[in-house]
Amino acid sequence: MEKMTKEQKDRQIRKEAGATLILFFICMFWHIGFGWGLSGSCDVTIAKLPLWWWISTPGVFVVGLVGVLVLLKFVFKNFSLDDDENGEEANHAN
């Protein structure tokens, strides 16, 4: 676990929240864009379901899963949210 100052923790938390929000919007635009964009213009079906459904619904799951793996690999860090001073005092009190 990485030791960080309070300012570094705040920056990291904001970075993780921002990256998660960006992934959310990517998934939202993927789902709405392919679902609505292809619904009237494409007559291709797979297993009696239209192509827009396959790209939109299971596709957004794949995009979200890959996005979460990328976030875990490159953005998220493992660190304690406890204050260092308070955490050390609490450990010495026990």
pLDDT digits (tens, 9 = 90+) for 8-19: 999 999 999 999
Neighbours of 20 (CB within 10 A): 14
For the entire predicted model, the pTM comes to 0.81
E strands, the chain, are: 45-46, 49-50
Distance CA 35, CA 19 (A): 24
Cβ distance 20 to 70 under 8 Å? Answer: no
Cβ distance 61 to 40 under 8 Å? Answer: no
Identify the segments of the chain with pLDDT beneath 50. 87, 89-90, 94
Tokens at residue 14, please? 């904001």
3-state SS assignment for residue 62: helix
